Amino acid sequence: MSQDYTFLKACRGEQTDYTPVWLMRQAGRYLPQYMAVRKKVTFLELCKTPELAAEVTIQPIDYLDADAAILFSDILTPVEPMGLKLDFVPGPVFENPVRSEADIDALRIPVMEEDVPYVLETIRILRREFEGRVPLIGFGGAPFTLACYMVEGKGSKDFAQIKRMMYGAPELFAKLMDKITEMDRQYLNAQIAAGAQAIQIFDTWGGIVSPLDYQKYVLPYTRKLIDGLDRSVPIIHFVKGAGCMLDIVSQAGSDVMGLDWHVNLGKARDIIGPKIAVQGNLDPTVLYAPKQHIEREVKRILDENAGRPGHIFNLGHGILPTVDPEHARFMVECVHRLSGK
Ligand code: CP3
């Protein structure tokens, strides 16, 4: 029974026989088998070719023995059909970033089955492939993180453009965020309808604002998004840099909160309370350490959780491309062995 997957039970806060584990960005450049596929196509072509996207989604399941798979795509995939020309060099770049009201008005809400059919087809292929083996996580960017890329046009250190809009033209910012939130709602519900068994919302840049600004400019949209999702599947909400505002972020209404490594997992659970499960939170750079160090850190995090139900082990952010894959596999093995599998 698919509902009995250890990962899904942990998402629902139920007792499990052992601690399930997967790694954010587990399909990717640290794996030679990914690079072999990636050599033949661009990153966007890979995302848009269901057979190849499915193949690289399966690779880390075969290699790592992780307890959940995550769809191979990108948070910016649905933004391209909104009308922004997207390239990866390797970071994302939009040729025509959103700066004015006319730019916002020109954005369209994609028709998911027509504009991103490859995402939904990849999910359908993967459900057939994984039946009885591992559950499949779908995902999207949180409205604020998507807005950061759409307004900045690329990654940023100071986020000057989005903050200019947020503080200087709050009605424009709200209009943009409303449109992105509605796109995201339809996009994630389409993934669930196609077969995604859990959804992770990535708010990579949600922590660049103060707790008060998070409450004012970010939280209302993420909460509205989560409210509008088909809740027959668990929703995981990962905000990087949320350690100082866990009480506020928990109001977004997710089933699971992703934690980065700047918080003690046990203390975070005390703040969040027993109704929300947690996912995390090993520092991704610990995978550069010798194996005894990795094992000690895995044990420390399991000890911080202290046997409470509703813990999914993960990194505190995505795996880094220069990590030795053997160390990632060893980490998964440690989580399983030390938690009693
Ligand atoms: O987790 C997985 O294995 C699924 C695939 C996945 C990718 N991107 C593939 C990818 C997921 C879940 C994402 C999410 C994503 N994309 C986020 C949120 C998570 C996070 O890391 O903060 C963000 C901010 C993006 C935007 C993005 N895409 C950036 C900033 C970059 C460049 C940085 C980098 O890692 O190179 C990408 C490109 C990207 N997305 C790659 C992969 C495997 C590398 C592209 C390549 O193969 O050249």
The whole-angstrom separation of Cα 204 and Cα 239 is: 6
Q: Is 61 part of a structural domain of the chain? A: yes
Burial of 307 (0-12, 13-18, 19+ CB in 10 A): exposed
Closest Cα to atom 2 of ligand 1: 25
pTM of the model: 0.97
Both structure tokens of 7? 């990962």
The tokens describing 119, both together, are: 């995402």
Query: How many independent structural domains does the chain possess?
Result: 1
- Report in angstroms the alpha-carbon separations of 332 from 74, 89, 247, 290: 24, 31, 29, 15
Residue 1 lies in a domain: no
Residue 26 maps to which CATH number? Answer: 3.20.20.210
Residue 133, domain member (yes or no): yes
Query: What would the DSSP string read from start to end of 50-86?
Result: HHHHHHHHHHHHHHH--S-EE-S--TTTTTGGGT--E
| pLDDT of 2 | 58
- Write out the residue range of the structural domain in which residue 78 sits: 6-338
* 42 part of a folded domain: yes
Strands 92-94 and 136-141: unpaired
pLDDT in tens, the chain (341 residues): 556 999 999 999 999 999 999 999 999 999 999 999 999 999 999 999 999 999 999 999 999 999 999 999 999 999 999 999 999 998 999 999 999 999 999 999 999 999 999 999 999 999 999 999 999 999 999 999 999 999 999 999 999 999 999 999 999 999 999 999 999 999 999 999 999 999 999 999 999 999 999 999 999 999 999 999 999 999 999 999 999 999 999 999 999 999 999 999 999 999 999 999 999 999 999 999 999 999 999 999 999 999 999 999 999 999 999 999 999 999 999 999 999 99
For ligand 1, atom 13, which residue shows the shortest CA distance? Answer: 74
Residue for token digits 């992105």? 180
Residue nearest to atom 38 of ligand 1 (CA): 91
- Return the best residue to mutate from 74, 188, 201, 314 for the ligand 1 pocket (most ligand atoms within 8 A of CB): 74
CA dist 300 and 273 (Å) reads 20
Distance from the Cα of residue 140 to its chain's centroid? 7
In sequence order, which residues have a C-beta less than 8 Å from that of residue 336 and are 6 or more positions away?
18, 19, 21, 65
Say how many Å lie between the CA of residue 84 and the centre of ligand 1: 18
Pocket of ligand 1 (CB under 6 A): 24-29, 38, 43, 70, 72, 74-76, 88, 90-92, 139, 155, 202, 204, 318
Q: How many CB atoms lie within 10 A of CB 200?
A: 25
| Whole-angstrom distance, CA of residue 207 vs CA of residue 131 | 36
Cα dihedral 271, 272, 275, 279 sign: negative
| DSSP assigned state of 94 | E
In sequence order, what DSSP letters do the residues of 111-142 get, joined into one string?
A: -HHHHSHHHHHHHHHHHHHHTTT--EEEEEE-
CA distance 273 to 267: 10
Return the active site residues: 25, 29, 38, 74, 149
Q: Does residue 101 contact residue 175 with C-beta atoms inside 8 Å?
A: yes
